[in-house]
Structure 1
């Protein structure tokens, strides 16, 4: 039986381990943290990722958590709609919903499908030999026919394989993520764009709301890909959010006020500065943020990691074919997401006015044009 060692117990690493195990591989997951309990943030599982999750038996459980209904779109800080569509129109076009759920929920669904004994928390990886598949860890050496490096945006494996690659850069914005109970009164999911600032609101199953925000403030030195406890100065995150968004439309101030201070996460947004030349070397495959860390503007970071996982398992370790299948698609999405991030950072009043006018025109032209922008991303299907 072929053996795979997966480095990293995040969404991508766990998806790869489950997918490979279903294809008959023996798998070992090395996770340096003492447990795989993640920070309390949310993520979007778009139609493309739902189809990928179907191949590893998780799709229907995620679908059951769908809570997006009715209108959604982009607004101004005073609440005026620039463009909008609806969850129902998106479902009709793409055949699947977009599901917003807690990262912890998806981690649990994946971890429960790992073979017994596959997960090794508290295991540091010190080095990988891409030629013979030897993985040096704090618990001793492992031998692998395939090494899956899902070790995040600051991947040590990526640096060793591609030392000339420039690596991750700051995207120019800091992010906040927060959870609160759903407020009373009319409620719609939306993303509001101001002068360099963004605030997003998405309903979750169970009567809760996941919100996120970005703004071009000085970096704090903590990355959203790190499993830390919040980033920034504890006790000041809520005050900072209220300073930036406290006069924005309802229910944004109420959601900020309702979020417990200790649950608000603050991190710098970073992404890879340029695509890698390949996603493999020798017996090693890079996956997820280690391969193509992107800004969150398209909501595709976790989705692309899940796609990576099921494609890698389908190809049974044919790594040149894996690079051929994944490099171009992820590079395109990475570039498009960063372009949107740059547009959200505009603060010049004339530029913001022109941006808003263009979005309003798109909105007036209807759902079809708004949703068409996601066609090539959301209609992806896993290999048969």
Structure 2
């Protein structure tokens, strides 16, 4: 009888739980170590594209993740006068939903627990070795056949393995919050839309996440101190986006601010220790694929290890996993970063640039490439009811 292989994972976020669930479903003994006292989601709302939805289906987390979720039918960009710059439908062949981030995390947590994953909280990982070992702040050292660092942009696992080649924080950042959704908040003509509004270097994104809540993102350069203050200057933002003043006025004290990170690594693994998610390939959120890429790479990692019977086989399997997945991840990161540059164009130039780009089939194909594909380990998409697709 073959020995049960073991895995230890630093980080109980989206990518960590996806990898843990996928490995446990394939017979691995898996333990997730989380620095916080409980599994908690940071952030407000989140986009889940076709690739992420297929991963959730494969992990058995889909129904819980999409319950009462908002299903958008179009993206719309508007200028400072409220005029439409571009309006693009969300096709039936590439599903998209938006939900509260905590709902998505809870669905993955529950799937992990059903699969037999053990979760240990209040456990801070401060290092790792290529031998499948994690080092903890309390002095403990835990060893397994496989170790995975899914510990975010300031990953201690990545640092210990010496894998980072590039880490840049962007000039632009975002204020994020969730407000109560009320009747009449969104005009009937805008029902089903995700609306991105521009005014100078400031942006205001309106994203319903269910029938009772709207996710708002207010972006600006980090140097714009008046706009980036988490004690929202409602008069300032309402002056810039007057048509949405009724939503801005409803913003409460629970607002987060953060700039984005762009991270590249020489490799995603060393020996029997791997990194994934933001630890390996953080990107700006402009394409809504940070969480989706983390989840799909967690599932793909488990699939790459399906034929492994001994610990000595793990390094080669991890190299094969990276070789298969990295081109798509690099592509998504590149285009997400490029999109962020339009924030710094003059208004008229931005409008002309966006219109020209979004009317070019080649550009559309590049932007959509990540959301259209079928992630490793998932099946062909099942037929969806018309009300969903």
TM-score (norm 2): 0.84
Shift in Å, 1:103: 1.2
Pick one of 206, 213, 216 that aligns with 1:208.
Answer: 213
Would the aligned equivalents of 1:215 and 1:345 in 2 still touch at CA under 8 Å?
no
Is 1:31 aligned with 2:25? no
1:1-384 → structure 2 map (5 Å cutoff): 1-87=4-90, 90-91=91-92, 93-94=93-94, 97-115=95-113, 118-130=118-130, 132-137=131-136, 138=138, 140-162=140-162, 165-166=165-166, 168-185=167-184, 186=187, 187=190, 188-218=193-223, 237-239=231-233, 242-251=235-244, 253-261=245-253, 263-272=254-263, 275-316=264-305, 317=314, 318-346=317-345, 349=346, 352-361=347-356, 372-384=365-377
Question: For residues 83-107 of structure 1, what are the alpha-carbon distances to aligned partners after superposition, in whole Å with 9 as ceiling and x for unaligned?
Answer: 10234xx22x32xx21111111111
Question: Would the alpha carbon gap of residues 380 and 119 (structure 1) be closer, same or farther in structure 2, given more than 3 Å must change?
Answer: same
**SS in structure 1 of the partner of residue 376 of structure 2:** coil
TM-score (norm 1): 0.85
Question: Would the alpha carbon gap of residues 333 and 245 (structure 1) be closer, same or farther in structure 2, given more than 3 Å must change?
Answer: farther
Would the aligned equivalents of 1:15 and 1:110 in 2 still touch at CA under 8 Å?
yes
More off after superposition, 139-148 vs 292-301: 139-148
Q: Aligned residues, how many?
A: 353
Would the aligned equivalents of 2:128 and 2:161 in 1 still touch at CA under 8 Å?
no
Question: For residues 248-268 of structure 1, what are the alpha-carbon distances to aligned partners after superposition, in whole Å with 9 as ceiling and x for unaligned?
Answer: 1422x221211212x111122
Would the aligned equivalents of 2:10 and 2:148 in 1 still touch at CA under 8 Å?
yes
Would the aligned equivalents of 1:9 and 1:29 in 2 still touch at CA under 8 Å?
yes
Unaligned runs of at least 5 residues, structure 1:
221-231
Return the alpha-carbon distance in structure 2 between the equivalents of residues 382 and 333 of structure 1.
Answer: 14
Return the alpha-carbon distance in structure 2 between the equivalents of residues 38 and 382 of structure 1.
Answer: 24
Return the alpha-carbon distance in structure 2 between the equivalents of residues 343 and 127 of structure 1.
Answer: 38
Map of 1:227 onto structure 2 = none
Would the aligned equivalents of 1:62 and 1:99 in 2 still touch at CA under 8 Å?
no
Return the alpha-carbon distance in structure 2 between the equivalents of residues 82 and 283 of structure 1.
Answer: 49
**SS in structure 2 of the partner of residue 113 of structure 1:** helix
Return the alpha-carbon distance in structure 2 between the equivalents of residues 180 and 278 of structure 1.
Answer: 40
**SS in structure 1 of the partner of residue 148 of structure 2:** strand
Return the alpha-carbon distance in structure 1 between the equivalents of residues 61 and 163 of structure 2.
Answer: 36
Question: Would the alpha carbon gap of residues 86 and 164 (structure 1) be closer, same or farther in structure 2, given more than 3 Å must change?
Answer: closer
Unaligned runs of at least 5 residues, structure 2:
306-313, 378-389
Question: Would the alpha carbon gap of residues 378 and 84 (structure 1) be closer, same or farther in structure 2, given more than 3 Å must change?
Answer: same
Shift in Å, 1:70: 4.4
Return the alpha-carbon distance in structure 2 between the equivalents of residues 332 and 283 of structure 1.
Answer: 26
Shift in Å, 1:354: 2.5
More off after superposition, 109-118 vs 196-205: 109-118
Return the alpha-carbon distance in structure 1 between the equivalents of residues 53 and 151 of structure 2.
Answer: 23
Return the alpha-carbon distance in structure 2 between the equivalents of residues 354 and 370 of structure 1.
Answer: 18
**SS in structure 2 of the partner of residue 78 of structure 1:** coil
Shift in Å, 1:120: 0.4
Question: For residues 131-163 of structure 1, what are the alpha-carbon distances to aligned partners after superposition, in whole Å with 9 as ceiling and x for unaligned?
Answer: x22222237332211111101001111112226
